[in-house]
């Protein structure tokens, strides 16, 4: 397969797709290594994981270099590596105490006379299918707690961003006892992975998530899905308009809007709409794209160039139906890369694609509301339920509104914090996901299968006693 450099538009990288046979043999190798890995216990595994984190840090320049080409962005590439290392060290520190808290006996409520001793064992082989928007973070966000739980892990990063796998494979060579492997390729490789693992975590679009869930259902394995979003932000009349504009802008455009938790719809109270929009436009126009110098500016190119055309189509359809562009609005081709400056739209209506479908670009459609009830209703009127945000004059006011929003994680007095707060357990709603939370303790505990050793402490029933009991 070939991959495109998002800064030049050129297909300048070729890589071998992992064959069906090689996927099966990697899966078999990992399965064979898993019992010894699980037998190390949480402390033993934590020690190896700490060495894995150290090895990533030592190789950070090579990984960041590859990732910067994959994604067209420099600063975020370093942030991704730091976040990945932090995730590994965080789970390594936390896992032993989580295991220590697992109950070692269960008091029977329904069946007197038995004693129940619970046992816990990891799903042997975990699999991850990952997207292109944060390639390093999202290829490891579930694999790390799965490994800490005692699973072996087979990871398929996106075929759009394959370069970082090479330096990561070198990192793995420094930690040979870690049962982790990467496979590369597109949808067929994803489907093959599902056939070979015992538990799959998928991060990506809602459309692909349905296909993954169907394939997992055929295999009768659990599938956790982390999917797309159309996150709303409500800004009330008591919020400071300049502060709200700054928070709304950052929450919408970080990583060129290519984040599942980006704010994609803004509802602002009419009382402050005028100064809010003025500050928003001013702040948006101060944002620089990272061209020609990738080390300068805020917004990189679209990682996946066809995404730029999709975003433009959302803007054009909105304008054709009466929306106004206050700033931005036009894709720019620079040096072969596809860029979009922050784009602010007003006079949008709920039926427009930019208000219903995931845009995944630095686009802020702003709706002015008169009635807070109506704003809450509109914010909830979506197929998605990943996260949401509220900005108000006080935390109490923001919290009372946030509790009524139908989404997994609600940021109050800030925006788009969903994936940045590791302890904030949440399950996405509606079309945004399925399964136990990847954040919080369940991020690890979901990978443990419970077994009950049911001990009969009295006399086992005879068949005669059973028949008499049944006759009353
Ligand atoms: P995508 O659905 O196109 O692809 C994701 C992965 O699925 C890729 O590795 C791809 O090769 C694989 N795949 C494609 N078809 C498959 C099939 N039929 N069977 C098995 N695997 C298959 O997603 P994308 O475009 O790479 O990523 C962007 C999307 O991811 C956006 O919708 C974004 O919101 C979402 N996302 C969600 C989260 C979250 O935590 N909720 C985080 C980041 C991104």
In a domain, 141, yes or no: yes
Q: Cβ(229) to ligand 1 under 6 A?
A: yes
> In this structure, are 272 and 213 located in the same domain?
no
> In this structure, are 198 and 328 located in the same domain?
no
> In this structure, are 203 and 264 located in the same domain?
no
Task: Give the mean pLDDT of 314-337.
Answer: 98
- Report the CATH number at residue 239: 3.40.309.10
Q: Cα of 424 to ligand 1 centre, how many Å? A: 23
* Residue 133 binned pLDDT confidence (cut-offs 50, 70, 90): very high
Least confident of 43-47, 148-152, 363-367, 422-426: 422-426
> In this structure, are 103 and 157 located in the same domain?
yes
What is the sign, positive or negative, of the torsion defined by CA atoms of 200, 201, 206, 207?
Answer: negative
Task: Give the mean pLDDT of 218-234.
Answer: 98
Q: Cβ(408) to ligand 1 under 6 A?
A: no
Q: Which residues contact 249 (CB under 8 A, 6 or more apart)?
A: 280, 283, 284, 287, 342, 364
Residue 431, classified by CB atoms within 10 Å of its CB into exposed (0-12), middle (13-18) or buried (19+), is buried
| DSSP structural state of residue 16 | P
Q: 13 has which bridge partners?
A: 3
Domain count, the chain: 2
* Residue 14 binned pLDDT confidence (cut-offs 50, 70, 90): very high
> In this structure, are 70 and 197 located in the same domain?
yes
Evaluate if residue 432 carries a pLDDT over 90. yes
Residue 17, classified by CB atoms within 10 Å of its CB into exposed (0-12), middle (13-18) or buried (19+), is middle
- Nearest ligand 1 atom to alpha carbon 428: 41
Task: Give the mean pLDDT of 311-320.
Answer: 98
> In this structure, are 36 and 146 located in the same domain?
yes
SS3 228: coil
Q: Cβ(150) to ligand 1 under 6 A?
A: no
- DSSP letters for 409-420: EEEESSS--GGG
Evaluate if residue 112 carries a pLDDT over 90. no
Give the helix ranges, DSSP H, for 115-154: 135-140, 143-149
Q: Cβ(204) to ligand 1 under 6 A?
A: yes
Encoded tokens for 207: 């459309």
Mean predicted lDDT score pLDDT of the chain: 97
In a domain, 471, yes or no: no
SS3 389: strand
The parent domain of residue 448 ranges over: 2-227+432-453
> In this structure, are 217 and 270 located in the same domain?
no
Q: Cα of 50 to ligand 1 centre, how many Å? A: 29
Evaluate if residue 195 carries a pLDDT over 80. yes
Q: Which residues contact 397 (CB under 8 A, 6 or more apart)?
A: 236, 238
Beta carbons of 191 and 208 less than 8 angstroms apart: no
> In this structure, are 168 and 34 located in the same domain?
yes
| DSSP structural state of residue 299 | B
In a domain, 401, yes or no: yes
- Nearest ligand 1 atom to alpha carbon 194: 20
Place of tokens 């932090």: 86
Percent of the chain whose pLDDT exceeds 70 = 100
Task: Give the mean pLDDT of 273-287.
Answer: 98
In a domain, 332, yes or no: yes
Evaluate if residue 56 carries a pLDDT over 70. yes
Task: Give the mean pLDDT of 101-126.
Answer: 93
SS3 76: helix
More confident residue, 38 or 464: 38
Q: Which of the residues are catalytic?
A: 226, 260
Q: Could you give the CA distance from residue 318 to residue 357 in angstroms, rounded to a whole number? A: 12
Q: What is the pLDDT of residue 467?
A: 86
SS3 281: helix
In a domain, 459, yes or no: no
Q: Cα of 298 to ligand 1 centre, how many Å? A: 25
- Report the CATH number at residue 123: 3.40.605.10
Encoded tokens for 245: 């504009």
> In this structure, are 206 and 240 located in the same domain?
no
pLDDT per residue as tens digits for the range 346-404 = 999 999 999 999 999 999 999 999 999 999 999 999 999 999 999 999 999 999 999 99
Task: Please count the CA atoms within 13 angstroms of the CA of 63 that sit on its side-chain side.
Answer: 25
Q: Probe ligand 1: pick from 1, 200, 208, max atoms within 8 Å of CB?
A: 208
Q: 267 has which bridge partners?
A: 234, 367
33-39: long-range contacts, CB 8 A cutoff, minimum separation 24: 33/152, 33/177, 33/179, 34/122, 34/124, 34/125, 34/150, 34/151, 34/152, 34/179, 36/177, 37/147, 37/150, 37/152, 37/177, 37/178, 37/179, 38/121, 38/122, 38/150, 38/151
- Which among 184, 167, 163, 168 has a CA at the least distance from the CA of 69? 163
Q: Could you give the CA distance from residue 46 to residue 175 in angstroms, rounded to a whole number? A: 13
In a domain, 465, yes or no: no
Q: What is the pLDDT of residue 284?
A: 98
In a domain, 458, yes or no: no
* Residue 472 binned pLDDT confidence (cut-offs 50, 70, 90): low
In a domain, 11, yes or no: yes
Q: Could you give the CA distance from residue 416 to residue 246 in angstroms, rounded to a whole number? A: 13
> In this structure, are 347 and 371 located in the same domain?
yes
| DSSP structural state of residue 172 | H
């Amino acid at each position: 397969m070939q991959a495109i450099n998002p800064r030049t538009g050129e297909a300048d990288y070729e890589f071998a797709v992992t064959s069906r046979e090689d996927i099966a043999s990697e899966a078999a190798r990992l399965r064979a290594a898993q019992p010894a890995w699980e037998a190390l216990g949480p402390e033993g595994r934590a020690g190896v994981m700490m060495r894995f984190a150290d090895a990533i840090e030592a190789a950070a320049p090579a990984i960041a270099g590859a990732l910067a080409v994959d994604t067209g962005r420099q600063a975020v590439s370093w942030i991704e590596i730091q976040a990945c290392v932090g995730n590994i060290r965080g789970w390594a520190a936390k896992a032993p105490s989580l295991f220590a808290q697992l109950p070692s006996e269960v008091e029977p409520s329904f069946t007197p006379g038995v004693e129940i001793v619970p046992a816990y064992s990891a799903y042997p082989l975990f699999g991850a299918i990952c997207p292109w928007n944060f390639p390093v973070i999202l290829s490891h966000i579930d694999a790390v707690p799965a490994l800490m739980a005692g699973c072996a892990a087979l990871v398929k990063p996106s075929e759009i961003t394959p370069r970082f796998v090479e330096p990561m494979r070198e990192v793995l060579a420094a930690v040979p006892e870690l049962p982790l492997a990467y496979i590369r390729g597109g949808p067929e490789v994803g489907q093959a992975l599902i056939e070979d693992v015992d538990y799959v975590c998928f991060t990506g679009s809602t459309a692909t998530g349905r296909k993954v869930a169907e394939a997992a259902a055929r295999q009768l394995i659990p599938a956790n899905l982390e999917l797309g979003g159309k996150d709303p932000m409500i800004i009330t009349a008591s919020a400071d308009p300049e502060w709200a504009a700054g928070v709304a802008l950052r929450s919408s455009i970080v990583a060129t809007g290519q984040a599942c938790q980006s704010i994609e719809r803004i509802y602002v109270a009419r009382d402050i709409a005028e100064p809010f929009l003025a500050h928003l436009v001013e702040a948006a126009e101060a944002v620089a794209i990272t061209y020609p110098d990738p080390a300068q500016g805020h917004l990189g190119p679209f990682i996946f160039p066809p995404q730029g055309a999709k975003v433009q189509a959302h803007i054009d359809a909105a304008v054709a139906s009466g929306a106004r562009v206050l700033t931005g609005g036009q894709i720019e081709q620079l040096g072969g890369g596809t860029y979009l400056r922050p784009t602010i739209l007003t006079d949008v209506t709920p039926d427009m694609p930019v208000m219903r479908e995931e845009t995944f670009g630095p686009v802020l459609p702003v709706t002015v509301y008169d009635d807070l009830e109506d704003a809450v209703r509109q914010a909830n009127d979506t197929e998605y339920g990943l996260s949401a945000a509220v900005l108000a004059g006080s935390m109490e006011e923001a919290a009372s509104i946030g509790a009524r929003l139908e989404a997994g994680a609600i940021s109050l007095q800030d925006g788009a914090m969903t994936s940045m707060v590791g302890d904030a357990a949440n399950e996405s709603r509606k079309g945004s996901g399925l399964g136990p939370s990847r954040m919080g303790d369940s991020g690890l505990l979901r990978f443990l299968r419970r077994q009950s050793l049911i001990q009969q402490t009295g006399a086992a029933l005879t068949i005669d006693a059973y028949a008499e009991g049944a006759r009353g």
